[in-house]
Amino acid sequence: MIAELGHFALIVALVVALVQATVPLIGAQRGNDAWVAVAQPAAYAQFLMAVVAFFALMHAFVQSDFSVLAVFQSSHSLKPLLYKVTGVWGNHEGSLLLWILILSGFGAAVAAFGRNLPPQLKARVLAVQAMIGVGFLLFILFTSNPFERIFPVPQEGQGLNPLLQDPGLAIHPPFLYLGYVGFSMAFSFAVAALIEGRVDPAWARWVRPWTLAAWCFLSIGITLGSWWAYYELGWGGFWFWDPVENASFMPWLAGTALLHSAIVVERRDTLKAWTILLAILTFSLSLMGTFIVRSGVLTSVHAFATDPARGLFILGFLVFVVGGSLTLFAARASALKPGGLFAPISREGALLLNNLLLATACATVFLGTLYPLLLDAVSGDKVSVGPPFFNATFIPIMFPVLVAMVIGPLLPWKRGDLSGMVQRLRGAFLIAASAGLITYAMVSGTSLVAVAGIVVSVWLIVGSLMPLVERAIGRGASLQHSAGRALALPRSAIGMAFAHAGVGFFVLGLTVLLSFQTEKDQVLRAGQSMEVGGFTVTLRRVESVPGPNYVAQRGIFDVSKNGTLREPALPEKRTYVGSPMVTTEAAIEPTLWGDLYVVLGDADGAGGYAVRAYFKPFVHWMWFGAAFMVFGGVVSLSDRRHRVGAPRRAKVDAGSGLKPAV
């Protein structure tokens, strides 16, 4: 009964979305206020229906109602409650429902918070948002109904995949979706602007916070997913350049470029067509990601049960959304008046460079991801493009981005002067260069790539944070005074410095990890030990430990460094009841300098166990760096500029009394 209610709510949502996609659009075109006013209540109603449907499905999962096919296939009555709840989006149908929930949620948010938005623009944005909603609702209702019943009702569900019962894995999809779907806002605003034929700074101010929020969510989602891979898959990797990972990384790269080009539109009223294009592309890449994951076009370890019929539907939808918006772009972009001119060495120039490089990096990932498909389509050969390709192409493209990230924010708008820049950044450069030299001199076997990575990351950290400190301290100000000044700095400037420094921390962690990690594989008997990264790991014994639905072989290892005993490492191999699946639980011991990572392998049958141990230096700096980037994004999001004055189209920029923020 509740499942049918959910199904019914989806049908109502579709009808509402159809109204929302058409009536306000026509109203805005004809200047009919009553029709324009339909958008807001429709957006609320669509969201409400999505909430009803979502909770109906969650109810079925929590109650283990196996008469619902999706519940039967991906849940089990013995699952802990948390995983019953997260199981809602752990399958194709439910994850689509979550997508729809978030999509309509963003629509409702525009309706609620966009009070100051010009009503016509708002109506058009909501109409475009509803068009996307119509596509997804048709998709879910016709190809992937989450409320499908089965008869006879099975006694027990099939979904007890132990590998998937993990908090990191369970919570990262909602963040990814908040990111993907969040970019739909930028898309809707872009298409609405093309329909209106007007893009101005007020428009950019509206788009920026939505994009920034989506970017933060996507960053969290990607980081959580990669963190999960690191501690759960048992070989210490964190990124595989797998098609599904790339599918989330491409919108991130494009979204990052969009964030930056929107600044230029907002501050300088130029780069408009490019920004609109980026907004379209970012969301298109999100949709493409959905297509890749669900159509079976590319094989991947992450893919949902794939189905070509669904693939065909998504492809049709993709052609409609991306093809339609790009056609609109082709027709209208020339009409967008170019704004202010700028010299190559200027803030605009630096942001443009950032955009070009990020777009190239994104295109590289795109090519690497789709090349196997293209080759298969042309010649029938099956290849896979692996990490060597991405490492060889992606990293060199990102390197200049990292260097320029420090210089760009210090350049003035319109025209800058490079020699002044050299003066200001001399300190940061000297610190970075000496960090590189010291590492090279102190640590034997340091490669030049490692030195370059360290120099550029220190450059980023110091170069991003130092100007902030300088602005706060000023000349000869007292400590108290500077604290006040630091707090009074625009939040967007603080956020930017933090986010850029976060990239620096991330690159530093990555460089040190890839250059200096050590790895040992050895067969150990009780009492024997091995050395890795300065640690001595001694196997005491292996014992059987019963868990709730598994039996674990737990290795007990003494860990010592320089003769001092530390916490023992307790890696496990878990064999699950009723399934042949074995999962590896690595023992990860965090230390100040990195993680000691111990994995228990198979018994050799003669009393020994294969043991793999890594020392992963600075690996936590990567997670910290990613968290710092997101933190920077959140700080910037709290800037008053995003809340006050943004939507007022009449008095743009001039005399608004706001500081020219960075």
Partner 1 sequence: MRPGVVVPLAVFAVIAVALGIGLQLKPSEIPSALIGRPAPEFALDPVQGTDKGLSSADLKGQVSIVNVFASWCVPCRVEHPLWEEVAKTGVPVYGINYKDKPQSAAAWLASLGNPYARTGADLNGRVGIDFGVYGVPETFVVDANGVIQLKFIGPVDRNALETQILPKVRELQARKP
Binding site for partner 1 (CB under 8 A): 158, 273, 277, 280-281, 284, 291, 295-299, 306, 308, 311-312, 315, 318-319, 322-323, 326-327, 329-331, 333-334, 370, 372-374, 376-377, 382, 578-580
Within 13 Å and on the Cβ side, how many CA atoms surround 629?
25
Residue bearing tokens 């990567």: 622
Own/partner long-range contacts of 548-551 (Cβ < 8 Å, ≥24 apart): 549/78, 549/160, 549/162, 549/576, 549/577, 549/578, 550/162, 550/574, 550/575, 550/576, 550/577, 550/583, 551/575, 551/577
Shortest distance (Å) from residue 369 CB to partner 1: 11
Between 168 and 296, CB nearer to partner 1? 296
Between 116 and 575, CB nearer to partner 1? 575
Shortest distance (Å) from residue 193 CB to partner 1: 15
Cα separation, 284 vs 322, whole angstroms: 6
Classify each residue of 457-485 as buried b or exposed e, where b means 16 or more C-beta atoms within 10 Å of its C-beta. bbbbbbbbbbbbeebbbeeeeeeeeeeee
**Which of 170, 165, 184, 151 has its CA nearest to residue 72?**
151
Shortest distance (Å) from residue 332 CB to partner 1: 8
> Please, which residues have CB within 8 angstroms of residue 324's CB and are 6 or more apart in sequence?
none
Between 22 and 306, CB nearer to partner 1? 306
The single-letter DSSP state of residue 598 is E
**Which of 187, 178, 190, 189 has its CA nearest to residue 219?**
178
Shortest distance (Å) from residue 378 CB to partner 1: 8
Between 546 and 580, CB nearer to partner 1? 580
Between 32 and 306, CB nearer to partner 1? 306
Between 43 and 194, CB nearer to partner 1? 194
- Residue 577: both structure tokens together: 């009841």
Coil, strand or helix at 200: coil
Residue bearing tokens 């969009």: 258
Between 306 and 591, CB nearer to partner 1? 306
Between 39 and 293, CB nearer to partner 1? 293
Coil, strand or helix at 379: helix
CB contact at 8 A, 245 and 225: yes
Shortest distance (Å) from residue 543 CB to partner 1: 22
CB contact at 8 A, 477 and 485: yes
CB contact at 8 A, 197 and 333: no
Between 126 and 277, CB nearer to partner 1? 277
Rg (CA), the chain: 27
Residue bearing tokens 């605003």: 189
Cβ count near 312 (within 10 Å): 12
Cα angle: 133, vertex 283, 103; to 5 degrees: 30
Shortest distance (Å) from residue 256 CB to partner 1: 19
Between 259 and 370, CB nearer to partner 1? 370
Cα angle: 28, vertex 31, 207; to 5 degrees: 35
Shortest distance (Å) from residue 376 CB to partner 1: 5
Shortest distance (Å) from residue 515 CB to partner 1: 35
Residue bearing tokens 């109810």: 59
Shortest distance (Å) from residue 16 CB to partner 1: 30
Between 391 and 579, CB nearer to partner 1? 579
Shortest distance (Å) from residue 330 CB to partner 1: 5
Cα separation, 64 vs 276, whole angstroms: 46
Shortest distance (Å) from residue 169 CB to partner 1: 21
The single-letter DSSP state of residue 549 is S
CB contact at 8 A, 571 and 598: yes
